[in-house]
């Protein structure tokens, strides 16, 4: 059965030797691949072929991976269902008739269906963790700055990170080891070896993420933000507590924690993300990028026509809202307040993690939605990101692992959140379940 997981099926061969030799790694279609079409799931870039590889693609190929193709995604990463792609929706191999999550739904579906061993997605507000939860796979959103964004076609620069999707925690950790590290071409990458790795005698960075996947949670202290359980589907909450019970049986303990700022996180996230998107997507104008208009007119008319034809409805909605939030007279009312809320969220996470090794919540407050269920109700789609967006605002690492299934057989994910550059902590905790 075809799940429409790929937009472009074109194989890119890596080196003969390396830690990923013999492995196939699907790559989300907003990550640049030299000579291979990269569309961002949009008609605007339907024929765009990058002249260079993204940093993560270079590292995959150097590690011996084979890239079997570019995966489907919500247009420009804007969505939670992989239904806004100009190339059609992706189906969920783990739940027939349901969405695979988004925006990296094609990457998760490819792994869940066995069409790729591993995959790369991008996570701006949950776009790796959501599809991992909906397809019963593992997804890691790294600390901001751990993985280079060079060659990633930007949606919201201050929020997004490239992360792995895999069948197991150990395999996701192995892929993260390959793509992590400093890159001179991305000034946001940071030297974090004191926290997450060591240097070998020849100066090459060595990470030990996979070594942390030992399932040892004896003595682990888990904080559970009560706000991330409020309003969640009862079936999801029940499955979440079953997973916590399993961790407790293995030696972990937990306590509940209040984080008042989380009640404002979704609103702050969407103001910031849409504002950054309105700026980033201004270059798609038919001159620098995008199709050239076939008629003559003034520049404003041609600019508007290209964007009207090239962008889908959800992208247009976010550009309009972001432009409004940044406009004169409204910047302080919306964007500045959203940034203040972001700082509050970060402070709350720092406080909660000072008394816990990791924080835990359901990855998504609902099971996978039925196809088409949220397309006409964007507000419901935005609110579905309530548990994942706060992590991006705080630039922290998080992992989604399978928590189990609801009574009607739908996948549920458990989200584990760690301190900055605390990937080893969340990998160790997650590996007790997957």
Please report the domains of the chain, with CATH numbers, ordered by start residue. Answer: 6-222+225-259+346-432 (3.90.1300.10)
Q: Which residues lie across from 189 on neighbouring strands? A: none
Residue whose token pair is 């003559």: 296
Q: Which residues lie across from 147 on neighbouring strands? A: 180
Spatial neighbors of 189 by CB under 8 A, at least 6 apart, are: 145, 146, 147, 148, 181, 182, 183
pLDDT of residue 204: 46
DSSP secondary structure string for all residues of 351-364: HHHTS-SEEEEESS
* pLDDT tens, per residue, the chain with 434 residues: 789 999 999 999 999 999 999 999 999 999 999 999 999 999 999 999 999 999 999 999 999 999 999 999 999 999 999 999 999 999 999 999 999 999 999 999 999 999 999 999 999 999 999 999 999 999 999 999 999 999 999 999 999 999 999 999 999 999 999 999 999 999 999 876 555 555 444 444 467 899 999 999 999 999 999 999 999 999 999 999 999 999 999 999 999 999 999 999 999 999 999 999 999 999 998 888 888 777 666 777 788 888 999 999 999 999 999 999 999 888 889 999 999 999 999 999 999 999 999 999 999 999 999 998 887 788 888 889 999 999 999 999 999 999 999 999 999 999 999 999 999 999 999 999 99
**Cα–Cα distances in angstroms (integers) from residue 186 to residues 35, 149, 189, in the given order:** 22, 6, 6
Sort strands 358-362 and 221-225 into parallel, antiparallel or unpaired: parallel
The structure tokens listed for 99 are 């969405």
Judge residue 174's burial from the number of C-beta atoms within 10 Å of its C-beta, 0-12 exposed, 13-18 middle, 19 or more buried. Answer: buried
CA-to-CA distance for 351 and 65, rounded, in angstroms? 40
CB atoms within 10 A of CB 257: 18
From 103, 104, 361, 374, active-site residue: 103
For the question of residue 261 being annotated catalytic, the response is no
Cβ proximity of 345 and 215 under 8 Å: no
231 SS3 class: coil
pLDDT of residue 203: 44
109 SS3 class: helix
From 32, 127, 261, 278, active-site residue: 127
CA-to-CA distance for 72 and 137, rounded, in angstroms? 17
For the question of residue 361 being annotated catalytic, the response is no
Dump pLDDT digits (tens) for 284-331: 988 888 887 776 667 777 888 889 999 999 999 999 999 999 998 888
- Given its phi and psi angles, is residue 185 left (phi above 0), alpha (psi -120 to 50 degrees) or beta? alpha
Cβ proximity of 315 and 76 under 8 Å: yes
Q: Which residues lie across from 122 on neighbouring strands? A: 162
235 SS3 class: helix
Cβ proximity of 124 and 134 under 8 Å: no
pLDDT of residue 196: 55
Sort strands 221-225 and 253-257 into parallel, antiparallel or unpaired: parallel
Q: Please report, for the chain, how many H helices and E strands are present, in that order.
A: 13, 13
Dump pLDDT digits (tens) for 365-401: 999 999 988 877 888 888 899 999 999 999 999 999 9
CA-to-CA distance for 201 and 198, rounded, in angstroms? 10
What is the DSSP-derived secondary structure letter of residue 3?
Answer: -
CA-to-CA distance for 379 and 80, rounded, in angstroms? 11
From 23, 28, 70, 141, active-site residue: 28
The H or E element containing residue 307 is helix 299-310
pLDDT of residue 302: 81
pLDDT of residue 151: 98
For the question of residue 127 being annotated catalytic, the response is yes
Query: Cα–chain-centroid distance for residue 177?
Result: 17
């Amino acid at each position: 059965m075809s799940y429409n997981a790929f937009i472009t099926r074109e194989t890119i061969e890596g080196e003969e030797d390396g830690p990923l030799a013999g492995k196939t790694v699907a790559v989300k279609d907003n990550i640049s691949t030299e000579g291979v079409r990269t569309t961002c799931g949009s008609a605007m870039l339907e024929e765009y072929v990058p002249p260079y590889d993204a940093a993560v693609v270079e590292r995959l190929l150097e590690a011996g991976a084979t890239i079997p193709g570019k995966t489907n995604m919500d247009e420009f990463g804007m969505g939670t269902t992989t239904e806004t792609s100009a190339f059609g929706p992706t189906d969920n191999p783990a739940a027939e008739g349901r969405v695979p999550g988004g925006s990296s739904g094609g990457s998760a579906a490819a792994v869940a269906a066995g069409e790729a061993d591993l995959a790369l997605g991008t996570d701006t507000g949950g776009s790796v963790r959501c599809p991992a939860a909906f397809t019963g796979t593992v997804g890691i959103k790294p600390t901001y700055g751990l993985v280079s964004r060079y060659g990633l076609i930007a949606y919201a620069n201050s929020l997004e990170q490239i992360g792995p999707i895999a069948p197991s925690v150990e395999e996701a950790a192995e892929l993260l080891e390959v793509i992590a590290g400093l890159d001179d071409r991305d000034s946001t990458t940071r030297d974090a070896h004191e926290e997450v790795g060591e240097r070998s005698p020849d100066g090459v960075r060595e990470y030990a993420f996979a070594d942390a996947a030992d399932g040892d949670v004896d003595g682990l202290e888990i904080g559970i933000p009560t706000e991330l359980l409020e309003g969640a589907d009862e079936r999801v909450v029940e499955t979440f507590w079953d997973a916590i019970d399993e961790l407790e049986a293995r030696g972990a303990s937990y306590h509940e924690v209040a984080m008042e700022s989380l009640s404002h996180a979704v609103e702050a996230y969407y103001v910031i993300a849409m504002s950054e998107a309105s700026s980033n997507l201004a270059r798609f104008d038919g001159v620098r990028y995008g199709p050239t208009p076939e008629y003559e007119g003034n520049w404003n008319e041609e600019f508007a026509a290209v964007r009207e034809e090239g962008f889908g409805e959800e992208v247009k909605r976010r550009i309009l809202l972001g432009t409004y939030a940044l406009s004169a007279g409204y910047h302080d009312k919306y964007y500045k307040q959203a940034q203040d809320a972001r700082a509050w969220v970060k402070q709350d996470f720092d406080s909660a993690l000072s008394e816990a090794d990791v924080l835990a919540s359901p990855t998504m407050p609902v099971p996978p939605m039925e196809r088409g269920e949220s397309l006409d109700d964007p507000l419901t789609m935005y609110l579905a990101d309530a548990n994942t967006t706060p992590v991006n605002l705080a630039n922290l690492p998080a992992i989604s692992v399978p928590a189990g299934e609801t009574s009607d057989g739908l996948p549920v994910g458990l989200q584990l959140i760690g301190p900055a550059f605390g990937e080893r902590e969340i990998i160790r905790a997650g590996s007790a379940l997957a």
